[in-house]
Structure 1
Amino acid sequence: MRNIFYCDTKIGKIGIEENGEAITKVYLVNKDLQDDIGEKTETILLKKAVKELNEYFEGKRSSFDLPLEPGGTEFQKKVWEALIEIPCGETRSYGEIAKVIGNEKAARAVGMANNKNPIMIIIPCHRVIGANGSLVGYAGGLNIKEKLLELEKNCMNR
């Protein structure tokens, strides 16, 4: 069964979904759609996810301790695992992630996997930037990416 909970955050309303065992999605909510998707139930796992996300937005948490089960290809999952290893407050380029996963010519494919990340923030695709240091490509919009990176500037002090 799919359970969904919505919460307001510094970047807007987000939806958190779980399948009874793991978080499967975290996304910005399109106000027009929020009433049409899934069971709205606050389970123990969703409560924990909301708590950890609130701590993140308050600057009290730099990593997450939640079971994750993002749906995707093996390649995408490999990229998302590499993203989780990027420390809070740091960034990597698409090319650097491609090297980490053992396919240094796959920078574009890494970008596409980033774009398909179903668990924003917790799988920190916002920490991936262009080779020249520019903010590029974020499904939530570059303004949200910028806000998340700004929020994380003090991670080193936590």
Structure 2
Amino acid sequence: MRSAPAKLNYTAVIAAPFAHLGVMADAQAVQRIDFLPLDYALLSAADVPVQQLSVALAEYWRDPTQGFDLPLSYQGSAHQLRVWQALLAIPPGQTRTYGDIARLIGSSPRAVGQACGANPLPILIPCHRVVGKTNRGGFMHRLDSAALSYKDWLLQHESAL
């Protein structure tokens, strides 16, 4: 999961309870989501995948047990794809450590962390559910308070199950 690079042309920017989300999509699928500050201007879009994403996220904000059945399009290395697939199996309200995922797919915790940080579809591919063995770990290749506050919000939201 990563924070937004400067000046991307988002298809939409939608509100979340803790941030704004920059969305990149085409007519067929959602391709990327970035966390943006709350003062980033909202931008609506009529594209079907963006509308579906908005509805699905609204449901998730109300009930974190809601799964996501959306048209997605993303690419990654074979290792990243294995990690992201493993993340999709973590139920809401639960966490796994980087080491847990590494053992599951035959990798290393550091490599799992790198793949989590490269996740193009945070929330939908729940890298926030992966924590360190003794702490909450990082988020979006960052340890700053903004990035960790996003992770904390998502984990607290889901822990209310």
TM-score by length of 2: 0.81
Counterpart mapping for 1:39-50 below 5 A: 41-50=45-54
Structure 2 CA distance, aligned partners of 1:147 and 1:33? 19
Q: Which residue of 2 aligns with 1:10?
A: 17
Unaligned runs of 5+ in 1: none
> Which string of whole-angstrom CA distances, capped at 9 and with x for unpartnered residues, describes residues 70-102 of structure 1?
222111111111111100000000011112223
2:158 alignment partner AA: E
Q: Which residue of 2 aligns with 1:137?
A: 138
Structure 1 counterpart SS, 2:20: strand
Structure 1 counterpart SS, 2:51: helix
Q: Which residue of 2 aligns with 1:117?
A: 119
2:20 alignment partner AA: K
Tell me how many residue pairs correspond in the alignment: 148
Structure 2 CA distance, aligned partners of 1:97 and 1:119? 18
Unaligned runs of 5+ in 2: 1-8, 141-145
For the 8 Å contact 1:17–1:24, the answer to whether it is kept is yes
Structure 2 counterpart SS, 1:11: coil
Q: What percent of counterpart residues are identical? A: 33
Structure 2 CA distance, aligned partners of 1:30 and 1:151? 19
CA displacement at 1:19 relative to structure 2 = 2.7
CA RMSD of aligned residues (A): 2.3
